[in-house]
């Protein structure tokens, strides 16, 4: 499974990119606001750091304006992925921008039917928001499984980009369900490697090594 960082924090992106674990980056208006920076400026800097897709989201909600904003974002860098809402206007804009050779990430997906339409429109990625479904008492992971089955049935190229990941168990379950990508904040990636038995085992090994009086 590919790992995307869900942040507009350039310092964090630079740090995690150096680990070799980062395959791309997703941003949204809320993350741009949190960064306190101009969207074009910050996206350009992120694209210079990361070789993989960097999602930049349009603010428009109507078809013509989505196309205009999407084309503007696409000029920032070759690895910009235009992020569109999964609405009918967004689906239409996706079809046009995809045919123009742009990468498109359809966001705010909450049903398998929405994912089916996005794939038919040629989306590069579909972003089901699993955490937000869990918040309202639904099973976000079930949605990943449904989309995986539909895409496999018809051999769609659209990649499932699991979004709104809240926990390390979300990451594991998405991988088991067959999500192609998981996008998550840096703090979640950091938690993936942690386990108390790893820490205690290392502490014991180091203590025993010290007792040997040796060095490597």
Which residues are tagged catalytic?
83
Helix (H, G, I), strand (E, B) or coil at 51: coil
Q: CA-CA distance, 133 to 1, in Å (whole number)?
A: 21
Q: In this structure, are residues 66 and 58 in contact, taking their beta carbons and an 8 Å threshold?
A: yes
Q: In this structure, are residues 127 and 84 in contact, taking their beta carbons and an 8 Å threshold?
A: no
Q: CA-CA distance, 56 to 201, in Å (whole number)?
A: 43
Q: CA-CA distance, 127 to 193, in Å (whole number)?
A: 25
Q: Tell me the torsion sign for CA atoms 5, 6, 10, 15.
A: negative
Please choose, from the candidates 37, 9, 4, the residue with its C-alpha nearest in 3D space to the C-alpha of residue 22: 4
Which bin fits 19, alpha (ψ -120 to 50), beta or left (φ > 0)? alpha
Q: What does the chain come to in residues?
A: 216
């Amino acid at each position: 499974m590919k790992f995307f960082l869900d942040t507009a924090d350039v310092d964090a992106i630079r740090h995690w990119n150096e680990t070799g674990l980062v395959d791309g980056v997703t941003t949204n208006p809320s993350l741009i606001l949190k960064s306190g920076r101009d969207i074009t400026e910050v996206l350009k800097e992120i694209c210079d750091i990361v070789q993989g897709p960097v999602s930049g989201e349009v603010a428009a909600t109507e078809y013509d304006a989505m196309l205009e904003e999407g084309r503007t974002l696409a000029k920032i860098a070759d690895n910009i992925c235009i992020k569109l809402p999964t609405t009918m206007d967004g689906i239409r804009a996706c079809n046009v921008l995809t045919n123009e050779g742009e990468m498109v990430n359809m966001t705010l997906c909450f049903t398998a039917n929405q994912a089916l339409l996005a794939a038919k429109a040629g989306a590069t990625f579909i972003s089901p928001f699993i955490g937000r479904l869990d918040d309202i008492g639904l099973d976000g992971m079930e949605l990943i499984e449904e989309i995986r089955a539909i895409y496999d049935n018809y051999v769609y190229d659209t990649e499932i980009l699991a979004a709104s990941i809240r926990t390390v168990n979300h990451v594991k379950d998405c991988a088991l369900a067959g999500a192609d990508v998981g996008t998550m904040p840096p703090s979640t990636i950091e938690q993936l490697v942690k386990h108390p038995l790893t820490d205690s085992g290392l502490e014991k090994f180091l203590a025993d090594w010290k007792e040997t009086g040796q060095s490597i």
